[in-house]
Amino acid sequence: MIPLVDPAADHHIHTRYSDGSAGVREVIESALRKGFRRIAITDHMPLPFKTRYAVSMEAIDAYREEIRRVREDYAHAIEVWMGLEMEFLPGFEPWTEKIAAVGWEHAIGSVHNIFVNGQIGMVNGTRAEFGRLLKGAFDGDIRALCTNYYRHIGRIAASGMFGIVGHLDVLKKHNRDGAYFDETASWYHALVMEALDAVAAASMEVEINLSGYDHPAAAPYPSPWIIAECRRRGIPILLSSDAHRPENIGRNFERMGEILNEISRPEPRRIHASGIR
Ligand SMILES: [Zn+2]
Ligand SMILES: [Zn+2]
């Protein structure tokens, strides 16, 4: 059975506290106008290194306080969860544990950065950044990059710090038409299956992040075949827009119908032995 998803709930929205364009009130009002009954505000957690997107550690209390205060004004009409988009940072576990311990109503665990051989590289930044990571840290070996990425996802699940996996296969952001790898390759399939087993064992949820339709990938995160595998394992799924502007709240939610159609198709997905392009 297909797990039910609530189209009137958006579980991943950014504000000005991190890299979003609007304040908390503006986000809530926009969600209300669009008919949402529940949203999660999920700015990027503070990071122990410089980025262009994280909330600063000094602003975390103000962030929580503002959500708590502003949502009261709308409590009769919309539920607003105090969330955070967190990351698993190998070597910085105490940092992340401290932030997780504050307590969040929606703690997303995402991989944006890969740590390898003392280097940090963004997987979902620009295409140039992805290319630099692939060449610089993995000597051009896309299979090694994917393996490392899904190992990070496995550690997110094993850590017990997060409730939901964010944009599970965002490493395909620049992989349109298999530019870097073939998703039907058996090795890629095996990496995803192993990660999903870890996610299921940790009783985590997986978001269907529909921002991917507006990215070069032009597809949801994760791909429909992965959503079908979540369903097979009984992993709960949630919808999210990953909006960074109020007008993007609920973006592409209408495409859930085509995703559900695709995963309901009876024929099994073919898996190929190789698949590096
Ligand atoms: Zn993210
Ligand atoms: Zn996000």
- Ligand approaching nearest to the C-alpha of 241: 2
Distance 109 CA to ligand 2 centre (A): 10
pLDDT value, residue 162 = 97
Residue 206 lies in a domain: yes
Domain around 124? 9-264
Domain membership flag for residue 159: yes
Give how far Cα 28 sits from Cα of 10, 15, 66, 70, Å. Answer: 11, 10, 12, 9
Distance (Å, whole) CA 269 – CA 266: 9
* Residue 228 Cα to ligand 2 middle (Å): 23
| Rounded distance from Cα 196 to ligand 2 centre (Å) | 20
- What spacing in Å lies between the alpha carbon of 20 and ligand 2's midpoint? 9
CA of 112 to the centre of ligand 1 (A): 6
CATH code where residue 200 lies: 3.20.20.140
Residue 268 CB partners (closer than 8 Å, separation 6+): none
pLDDT value of position 117? 79
In a domain, 272, yes or no: no
pLDDT tens per residue across span 71-95 = 999 999 999 999 999 998 888 999 9
| Counted domains in the chain | 1
Q: Which residues of the chain have pLDDT under 70?
A: 1-4, 266-277
- CA 82 / ligand 2 centre spacing (Å): 14
Q: What is the mean pLDDT of the chain?
A: 93
Cα 272 to middle of ligand 2, angstroms: 32
Q: Do residues 42 and 12 touch, judged by C-beta distance below 8 A? A: yes
In a domain, 3, yes or no: no
Note whether residue 209 is domain-resident.
Answer: yes
Distance 242 CA to ligand 2 centre (A): 5
Q: How far apart are CA 108 and CA 152, in angstroms?
A: 14
Question: Residue 231 Cα, ligand 1 centroid: separation in angstroms?
Answer: 22
Q: At what angle do helices 224-233 and 256-264 cross, to 10 degrees?
A: 70
Q: How far is the CA of 171 from the centre of ligand 1 (A)?
A: 11
Neighbours of ion ligand 1 (CB under 5 A): 110
- CA–CA dist 116, 90 (Å, integer): 9
Q: What's the pTM value of the predicted model, to 2 decimals?
A: 0.94
Q: What pLDDT score does 268 carry?
A: 55
Instruction: Report which bound ligand comes closest to the CA of 14.
Output: 2
Q: Tell me the ligand closest to 170's alpha carbon.
A: 1
pLDDT tens string 194-247: 999 999 999 999 999 999 999 999 999 999 999 999 999 999 999 999 999 999
